[in-house]
Chain A
Amino acid sequence: MADDMITEGMLDMFIFETEQGLETLENVGLDSRDAGEFDDDHVNEIFRIMHTIKGASAVMMYQNIATLAHKLEDVFYFIRESKPENIPHAELLDYIFEVSDFINGELEKIKEGSDPDGVADELIANLDTYLKKIQGSAGGGSAKKEEAPPAHAPEEDKPHFYIAPVASEDSHFYSIYITYSPDTDMANIKAYIAVNALKGIAEDILFTPSDIISNPDSASVVLEFGFKIALQTTETADVIMDLINTSSGIDQVEVNECTSDEFLKFCAEAEAGNHPGSSAGEVLLGPIEQPTVRTDAKPKEIPLTEEEEKVSVARKAEKEEEQEKKKLAPKKKKPAKKAETQSFISVNIQKMDLLMDLIGELVIAQSVVLQNPDLKVPGLDLSNFQKAAVQLTKISSELQDAIMAMRMMPLKNTFQKMNRIVYDTSKKLGKDIELEVIGEDTEVDKNIIEHVSDPLMHLIRNSVDHGIESNEKRQEIGKHEKGKIVLAAKNEGGQVWISVSDNGKGLKRDEILEKAKKNGLLGNRSERDLTDKEVFNFITLPGFSTKKQVTEYSGRGVGMDVVVKNIQEVGGVLEIESEEGKGSTMTMKIPLTLAIIDGMIFSVAGTNFVSATNAVSEFIRVDEDQLVIEPDGEEYVMIREICYPLVRLNRFYHMSNSKENLSDGIVIILNHEDRKIAVFADELVGEQEIVVKPIPSYIKKVKGISGCTQLGDGSISLILDIGDLIGK
């Protein structure tokens, strides 16, 4: 590669743009999957993407990528121009994915600093074969075919030059528009007669629809949209008029002379809009090669002029086609989404993190100021201060929201990746599975998205592979509906719930129990004691798989524990619900953000602890007589007839100088998932927004403490992780 010439910035930009392009490519591909065909917008989008990638990679001198992109572009050029029907969609989709995978692989190599040396010859050959195939089948029977496909586009771009048409001295350019009365029979033949009549005087002629002879259906097209001819001749408009009017059924004829400049303009437009990828010469010459189109009257003295004429016609034809297509296919899919034109800048994530940290500091500094002990002088008039303080608090909380919003990203991209996984996996396993996505616009902190992607992928694979039965099996057991996976996301009280549900066979409680017993996981609990949830949770333990067979996708028993670990890393939990024979639902419950949380502060023996406010269900003063002590020393408190296990933080952490008497201190009821425990502390300190910081690595992990934070007075408080505390 030309390393010297290529700067880092260019490379970054190339990688970024190409990745984005490929992502869009896959999405468009998957979008069209259910429809079984590409609509116009899809085709244009793919064409555009491949063109961009081709151009960019050629600039970067990644020839293999450029060549492959070019090939796919060719295929879509043909599809766009010729609108062949009945193209093998699934096959094309596979090629698209293969191309995307190949280029992605090469991008990885580039990122690692090595040369993209992959060879895509086989894929290119396949695409070639495919292109030939659809070209072949499109030759007959297509009603919409108007422009013939280009002859094979070249491997490399040639420079595009526009030269004003150099017409022979007396040459004029005409655009002719003929409409036929609606009751005309065989309008296509009539049109052909007109063309034939003009042949005698034409230096060059091009018309649309172009397949009037080979395709009887074109008659209706001619009737509906009229017949257009581009003509270069030395004769006058009157002569042309006379010649055309020899055939019957003509409703109206328009003959307009145009200048060579207009032709040039048309040509430029057409080039920009239609044929960006290929050299002018090649693309435009293409139609000439088609025997049905070309009625070559005289030797080509002025080739460029001819070509440009054709472009202008092709351009018009395309517009017509679009209208036509809309009319002919009103049942076509949902209106294609237009690319959103928002302006974005990309910012280094480290800068965002820094900003986030600084705002965290600001929040703390603010509470240091506002709760400053100096203000607590009796008799001090603080009314102005308080007003200013309210304003400050408001602004800083808005600032916080803004930075949060900046870090929030919709789950859309992540979900779209899943689409691809379902497609690939179900195809390989021969299962007919549909994926429904709900709530893909739900927004989550960027950091969290990164942690969600892997577990989600795993859950989806599990559902496809194990959850949903094979097609035959479904038939057998009388499940008639298609295998379906629902991927849903929603906001739920400061959390995001992302669930993967399938309508497959569900989890088998008995099998899991048996395996758990074998592995000695039950302890001294009886099987009946265990709730379904507890049983299903066994599958999240390392090495636990009831699957006897290992498949390519899952079943090795290393999956679910990794999923759970990943989710826990961002402070989330995994919940499993399942009904045998009906399917299962795995729900990831993940906090919206990691950085700033509302915390409830309480102290034990002079040390402050914080717990997330949404984990606190209540705090209550209890009397000694509400305390129940088990013979083994475990303590419970009875509050309103409900029994909560009691954790005395002072005893748990062996702290002295704290309150021992229950009635002196305070009991805080904390939730963890579906469990509630009572925590005994000396006193409540207050509530504050806290910025979570890790405990310095010098200090070993302390059970139940997940981090620390700075309080309003500048002191440090320890963050209590209730899940860790109760040893779950």
Chain B
Amino acid sequence: MSKENLKQVLNDEEIVTENKKQYMTFRSCDEVYGLSLENVSEIIGLQQFTEIPETEDYIRGLINLRGKVIPVVDVRIRFGREQLEYTDRTSVIVIQVKGTVLGLIVDGIEGVVEIGESEVSAPPSVSTIEQQAQKFVFGIGRVNGEVKLLLDAEKLINDSEEEEESEDEEE
């Protein structure tokens, strides 16, 4: 399903109001995360990737997306969880932020939701969210009583350097 299709589906269902933002939601472990639809360029099935030696373990490797080489990151490992066997439901969300393209391996796609600004609250300082994941979460959105952890795509892309420092601090 491409971004356009998703938007189309959504537009048919309801009218987008101004202060609402669309989020692509996906599952990783037991949490549901949301990424602003602006940053999502497409969703693809998991394909064969080439591992790169000597890189962080969450970088699973490179995939070939219609001639473009893009790195893929396993969100589970990135957020400090156990890696699971990949299944049919495992998908790759391709995000693009300021020219950098990255694939995120997630357990499954939930769908697109609209969350109004009023429904987003700042993440609690003490929370159940994994510490690794915490720094990527900029807010918590509530839709129909469900909690979505909203991710900052820019941080996901730019984290490589900061990563080491913060890891050191944590250890």
Contact = CB atoms under 8 A, between A and B. Distances in A.
Interface string A683-712: 000000000010111111011010010100
Contact of B54 (A606, A653, A698): A653
Contacts of A699: 52, 55, 59, 62, 71, 160
Interface residues of B, number: 22
Nearest to B158: A698
Interface string A341-376: 000000000000000000001001000000000000
Contact of B53 (A693, A702, A715, A717): A702
A698 B52 contact: no
Contact of B62 (A364, A655, A697, A708): A708
A670 B144 CA distance: 62
A436 B50 CA distance: 51
A717 B70 CA distance: 13
B69 interface: yes
A716 B71 contact: no
Nearest to A716: B50
A334 interface: no
B160 A653 contact: no
A608 interface: yes
B102 A361 contact: no
B52 A702 contact: yes
B100 interface: yes
B71 A654 contact: no
A606 B49 CA distance: 10
A698 B63 contact: no
A256 to B, nearest CB: 76
Contact of B71 (A361, A608, A693, A698): A698
Interface residues of A, number: 26
Nearest to B100: A698
A140 interface: no
Contact of B50 (A361, A608, A693, A697): A608
Contacts of A715: 48, 50, 64
B51 interface: yes
B102 A716 contact: no
Contacts of B63: 716
A364 to B, nearest CB: 7
Interface in A607-622: 607-608
A361 B53 contact: no
A654 B54 contact: yes
A655 B53 contact: yes
A187 interface: no
B101 interface: yes
Given A710-B64, A715-B50, A716-B62, A696 B71 contact: yes
A696 B63 CA distance: 11
A36 interface: no
Contacts of B61: 716
Interface in B58-88: 59, 61-64, 67, 69-71
Contact of A693 (B49, B69, B157): B69
B79 to A, nearest CB: 17
A718 interface: yes
Q: Which of A654, A655, A699, A718 has the most B CB atoms < 10 Å from its CB?
A: A699
A695 B50 CA distance: 12
A698 B160 CA distance: 7
A714 interface: yes
Interface in B95-153: 100-102
A599 to B, nearest CB: 15
B78 to A, nearest CB: 12
Contacts of B100: 696-698
Contacts of B69: 693, 695-696, 708, 710, 716
Contacts of A653: 53-54
B50 A607 contact: yes
Nearest to B99: A697
A716 B54 CA distance: 17
B101 A696 contact: yes
A699 B69 CA distance: 12
Nearest to A357: B67
A710 B62 CA distance: 10
B62 A696 contact: yes
A726 to B, nearest CB: 16
B64 A714 contact: yes
Contacts of B48: 715
Contact of A606 (B51, B59, B67, B102): B51
A653 B48 CA distance: 20
A710 B67 contact: yes
A715 B52 CA distance: 13
12 contacts: A607-B50, A653-B54, A695-B52, A695-B62, A698-B59, A698-B71, A699-B59, A700-B160, A710-B67, A716-B61, A716-B62, A716-B64
Interface of A: 361, 364, 606-608, 652-655, 693, 695-700, 702-703, 705, 708, 710, 714-718
Given A654-B53, A696-B100, 19 more contacts: A361-B67, A364-B67, A607-B51, A607-B52, A652-B53, A653-B53, A654-B54, A655-B53, A696-B70, A696-B71, A699-B55, A702-B53, A703-B54, A705-B52, A710-B67, A715-B50, A716-B61, A716-B63, A717-B50
Q: Closest 6 A-B residue pairs measured CB to CB?
A: A653-B53, A716-B50, A716-B62, A702-B54, A696-B71, A361-B67
